[in-house]
Amino acid sequence: MKIAWIGTGIMGAAMCGRLLEAGHECVVFNRTESKARVLLEKGARWASSPAAAGEDAEAIFTMVGFPHDLEETIFHPERGVLAGQKDAPHRAKFLVDMTTSRPALARRIAEAAAILGIQALDAPVSGGDVGAKNGSLSIMVGGETDAFEALAPLWNVLGKTIVHQGPSGAGQHAKMVNQILIAGNMMGVCEALRYALAAGLEPEKVLESVSTGAAGSWSLSNLGPRILRHDFEPGFKIRHFLKDLRIALEEAEAFGSGAGLYLPGTQKARELYDLLERNGLGEKGTQALFLWEDQKKI
Ligand code: NAP
């Protein structure tokens, strides 16, 4: 398939790399060109803008950082994907956003794309940098069923668990459920490892015991060992996780015609991660929550 891929950071580069290896033709664009180099070496072609990337594509993928990055990528009046599609001799059939973003933005993109005859899907993922590299992501898809089904060969290259959650925006809502789970879990992982160290236990032995019992989780198995090695580099950046916590809390506040849904655990996680970001750790991985004790301000 002819694919355009916009956003070649930690996740995007690994995911697009898998599509190239599976034999798909990829044209790529990223704000910082050097981050696409590894894909160009694998045979991808460079485009000078999101509009240019999509010119000859059947499916256009976006995997950028924040909702405002996505808005620019899609809606920029000259360089945006939709501006490019208006004049394209062969319009794309599908526009797939895999960024973790706002449900309302997913619906707005789907409406604008439909005017041009393009089917848009929101398809955020879970499974981290590891899952992006080895193709084991969980992909949560919102949008029309026929578009979801038509893209099965691509989903299968990128992920292992691929579920159609409902209409546009449903994928992003499912991803917020995922992030609420991660929020509580990360606080548990970091507190538990702090406790193990304070109790004088050998943390590797403790990890061995608790990772396979009822307390086991992806975060514990993948990020626990990084914490013990004092490796706080991102997999998943704190500033992106804070973006997700803000979206989840804003969505929750608006449920029940504004009556709101109270999420105290998620609020606490946001407080803790906010502090880390204020202290300059926004570019570190979410496992750097372990360092909150050292911040001495909560
Ligand atoms: P990342 O490494 O920061 O990658 C984002 C990429 O998007 C960067 O290369 C960035 O360009 C590019 N970008 C931003 N705005 C752009 C624009 N207007 N035009 C073109 N390119 C643009 O982040 P990531 O970890 O891959 O995460 C990407 C998304 O996936 C985020 O929404 C994140 O929340 C979500 N996610 C991440 C993980 C994870 O474990 N990392 C897991 C699941 C979901 P620059 O190179 O110039 O910065």
How far apart CA 67 and CA 1 sit, in angstroms, is 27
**190 phi and psi, to 5 degrees?**
-70, -40
Mean of pLDDT values over 221-226: 96
DSSP state of 285: B
**123 phi and psi, to 5 degrees?**
-145, 60
pLDDT at 298 over 60: no
Q: What pTM does this model have?
A: 0.96
Give the residue, 213 or 296, on which the prediction is more confident. Answer: 213
Residues forming a β-bridge with 153? none
Helices (H), the chain: 10-21, 37-41, 50-54, 67-75, 81-87, 103-115, 128-134, 145-150, 152-158, 170-198, 203-211, 218-228, 238-254, 264-278, 292-295
**238 phi and psi, to 5 degrees?**
-55, -40
Q: What is the pLDDT of residues 61-84, one digit of tens each?
A: 999 999 999 999 999 999 999 999
pLDDT at 228 over 60: yes
DSSP state of 277: H
CA-based torsion, 194, 200, 205, 210: positive or negative: negative
Q: What is the pLDDT of residues 15-35, one digit of tens each?
A: 999 999 999 999 999 999 999
- The answer, yes or no, to whether any atom of ligand 1 lies below 6 A from the CB of 30, is yes
- Confidence label for 182 from pLDDT (cuts 50, 70 and 90): very high
**What is residue 297's predicted lDDT score, i.e. its pLDDT?**
53
Q: 125-126 and 137-142: which strand pairing? A: antiparallel
- The answer, yes or no, to whether any atom of ligand 1 lies below 6 A from the CB of 287, is no
- The answer, yes or no, to whether any atom of ligand 1 lies below 6 A from the CB of 6, is yes
Residues forming a β-bridge with 97? 62, 122
How far apart CA 46 and CA 173 sit, in angstroms, is 33
Q: Which residues of 74-92 are buried (b: 16+ CB within 10 A; e: fewer)?
A: bbbeebbbbbbbeeeeebb
Q: Tell me the best of 240, 243, 284 to mutate to test the pocket of ligand 1, counting ligand atoms within 8 Å of each CB and taking the most.
A: 240
Q: What is the pLDDT of residues 237-294, one digit of tens each?
A: 999 999 999 999 999 999 988 789 999 999 999 999 999 999 999 999 999 999 987 7
pLDDT at 295 over 80: no
Q: Tell me the best of 5, 6, 11 to mutate to test the pocket of ligand 1, counting ligand atoms within 8 Å of each CB and taking the most.
A: 11
**What is residue 87's predicted lDDT score, i.e. its pLDDT?**
87
CB-count exposure of residue 245 (10 Å: 0-12, 13-18, 19+): buried
Residue 175: active-site member: yes
Arithmetic mean of pLDDT over the chain = 96
**Cα of 30 from ligand 1 centre, angstroms:** 9
- Confidence label for 296 from pLDDT (cuts 50, 70 and 90): low
- The answer, yes or no, to whether any atom of ligand 1 lies below 6 A from the CB of 84, is no
